[in-house]
Amino acid sequence: MIALIPLSAVVLKSTDRGWDSFWNAVSSPQAWAALRLTLIASVVVVIVNAIVGTVIAWVLVRDEFRGKSVMNSIIDLPFALPTIVAGLTLLALYGPRGPFGLDVAYTRFAVVLALLFVTLPFVVRAVQPVLLELDQEVEQAAESLGASKWVTFRRIILPALYPAIIAGSGLAFARAVGEFGSLVLITGNLPFKTEAASVFIFSQVESDNVTGAAAVSVVLLLIAFVVLLGFGWLSRKVVRDEG
């Protein structure tokens, strides 16, 4: 109840002046630009995460080197670090005063960078346990049958990891769509350029346009639910198809 009542308030508020005002709020150029940026950035981030996250998980499970346990524990840092600190942290290195002269602050790339930071652990932590459980004998069997390393990976390992990769990606996507704190400092929140949907909602609340904020919130909620349900369905379907 604690969770459901407030959210239903948001849904009701978004339509309290009729569907037209809901639609107007969502389709206003600024809102639309914010939603589009959030969606595109989230898709990019999920793709990068799915690939790099799987690589990191593989290295953590199958590779052996000094400092691996440290690496394993700092994976969770984005979960533990406050998002506002994450934003400031990235700004320190990739901002105007950065030591390497890499300045991406106030660009769309900054949005992607911040979202990459906060969503890093999802795919890694979803894939890692599955990889640990995976029977290495199956891989060795494939290799003994003449499969190359790459074929073994693509035909044997990867299919087993798909459900985990998809599940982790779904969580990362939901997180990316709603992310706020890490974006505030590094993106500059320039309307039409670097203003993400959550930041747009925030500015609407500050300028007392609560109905407009609620309308965009509902769209975000819908996206999050569709994505979580969709990715859940997809990961179950993959498992089924494997038999």
Partner 1 sequence: MKGRLGLRFVAIGYLAALLAFPVGLVFYRAFEHGVDAFWEAMTTPDAQHAFWLTVEMVAIAVPLNTAFGVLCALVLVRQNFRGKALLNAAVDLPFAVSPVVIGLALILIYGRDGWIGDWLIENGIRVIFSTPGMILATIFVSLPFVVREVVPVLREIGTEQEQAAETLGASPLQTFFRITLPAIRWGVAYGVVLTTARALGEFGAVSIVSGKLSGQTETLTLLVENRFQRFDLAGAYAASVVLAILALLTLLSMNLLRPKEGR
Residues at the contact surface with partner 1, assessed by CB under 8 A: 2-7, 9-10, 13, 52, 55-56, 58-60, 62-63, 65, 71, 73-85, 88-90, 92-94, 99, 113, 116-117, 120, 149, 171, 174-175, 177-181, 184-185, 197-199, 201-202, 205, 210, 213-214, 217, 220-221, 224-225, 228
Closest contact distance (angstroms) between CB of 203 and partner 1 is 10
Q: Kindly tell me which of 79 and 242 has the beta carbon lying closer to partner 1.
A: 79
24-49 core/surface letters (b: 16 or more CB in 10 A; e: else): ebbebeebebbbebbbebbebbbebb
Q: Kindly tell me which of 85 and 242 has the beta carbon lying closer to partner 1.
A: 85
Closest contact distance (angstroms) between CB of 103 and partner 1 is 14
- Give the whole-angstrom CA distance, residue 122 versus residue 125: 5
Q: Kindly tell me which of 207 and 242 has the beta carbon lying closer to partner 1.
A: 207
Closest contact distance (angstroms) between CB of 243 and partner 1 is 27
Closest contact distance (angstroms) between CB of 148 and partner 1 is 11
Give the amino acid at 219.
V
Closest contact distance (angstroms) between CB of 235 and partner 1 is 16
Closest contact distance (angstroms) between CB of 224 and partner 1 is 5
Q: Kindly tell me which of 73 and 144 has the beta carbon lying closer to partner 1.
A: 73
3-state SS, one letter per residue, for the chain: CCCHHHHHHHHHHHCCCHHHHHHHHHHCHHHHHHHHHHHHHHHHHHHHHHHHHHHHHHHHHHCCCCCHHHHHHHCCHHHHCCHHHHHHHHHHHHCCCCCCCCCCCCCHHHHHHHHHHHHHHHHHHHHHHHHHHCCHHHHHHHHHCCCCHHHHHHHHHHHHHHHHHHHHHHHHHHHHHHCCHHHHHHHCCCCCCCCCHHHHHHHHHHCCCHHHHHHHHHHHHHHHHHHHHHHHHHHHHHHHHHC
Q: Kindly tell me which of 76 and 242 has the beta carbon lying closer to partner 1.
A: 76
Structure tokens at 124: 């890694």
Q: Kindly tell me which of 92 and 141 has the beta carbon lying closer to partner 1.
A: 92
Closest contact distance (angstroms) between CB of 150 and partner 1 is 9
Q: Kindly tell me which of 59 and 147 has the beta carbon lying closer to partner 1.
A: 59
